[in-house]
Amino acid sequence: MITKKDVIELITKKIPSSQVFVENLKGNDHLQVTVIASEFNGLSLVKQHQLVYSALKEELASETIHALALKTETPN
Amino acid sequence: MVFMKGTKLMPQCGFSNNVVQILNSLGVEFGAFDVLSDFTIREGIKEYSDWPTIPQVYLKGEFLGGSDILIEMYNSGSLKEKIEIELAS
């Protein structure tokens, strides 16, 4: 089982300047995550998402997180 | 080309269905592979693109993204533009 706090910690460890918002879509393994980070500047959408996914690699592989709706933004 | 769960006519997952609906609404011809029918490809494609989820959308061999990115690109109009450019080239 993974908590919102765990998800936020995992992402901020990988993307230090990020602001992370996590919502449970269904149960606690279907998550809606929004990440705002300056590290995304100049990165394509795919690269931005890959950065976030790399922070959650084990959780996604083990299906602790079954589905992840992801939104990434750069701070304006 | 779309690697998805299920088939174009019978998507087995909401995210895969999103992608099929988007491409259908753009009137784009696309191939689809049901990763549920082949575990090796289901896992291998994730390694290939360094992308941990299904569906995965490729345009002329280039990895575009999954459901979220397709939706964002569709809403911004950049998906239609990119497809038209690729098909024209």
Query: Using one digit for the tens of pLDDT, what is the confidence trace for B7-56?
Result: 999 999 999 999 999 999 999 999 999 999 999 999 999 999 999 899 99
Is A25's Cβ below 8 Å from some Cβ in B? no
The dihedral formed by the CA atoms of A67, B60, B62 and B29, expressed in degrees to the nearest 10:
-20
Across B79-89, average pLDDT: 91
Which DSSP category does A39 fall into?
G
ipTM of the complex as predicted: 0.72
**CA distance linking residue A8 with residue B77, whole number of Å:** 31
CA B43 to chain centre: 16
C-alpha dist (Å) from residue A69 to A34, B9, B49: 8, 23, 18
Residue with tokens 């491409």, as numbered in its chain: B23
Q: What is the pTM of this model?
A: 0.84
Q: Which band of pLDDT confidence, cut at 50, 70 and 90, is reported for residue A1?
A: confident
Q: What is the side-by-side order of every strand in the sheet holding B32-34? A: B32-34, B2-4, B56-59, B62-65
Contact of A22 with A58, CB cutoff 8 Å: no
Residues of B in contact with A34 (CB under 8 A): none
Return the number of other C-beta atoms located less than 10 Å from residue B35's C-beta.
24
| A13 pLDDT above the threshold of 90 | yes
* A45, A68, A71 member nearest B65 (Cβ): A45
Q: Which two tokens stand for residue A30?
A: 């279907």
Beta bridge partners of B56: B3
The pLDDT tens digits of the residues spanning A18-76 come to: 999 999 988 878 899 999 999 999 999 999 999 999 999 999 889 899 888 899 999 97
For β-strands B56-59 and B2-4, DSSP reports them as: antiparallel
Q: Which pLDDT score is estimated for A27?
A: 80
Q: Which of B16, B53, B78 best tests the A interface by mutation, with the highest count of A CBs <10 A?
A: B53
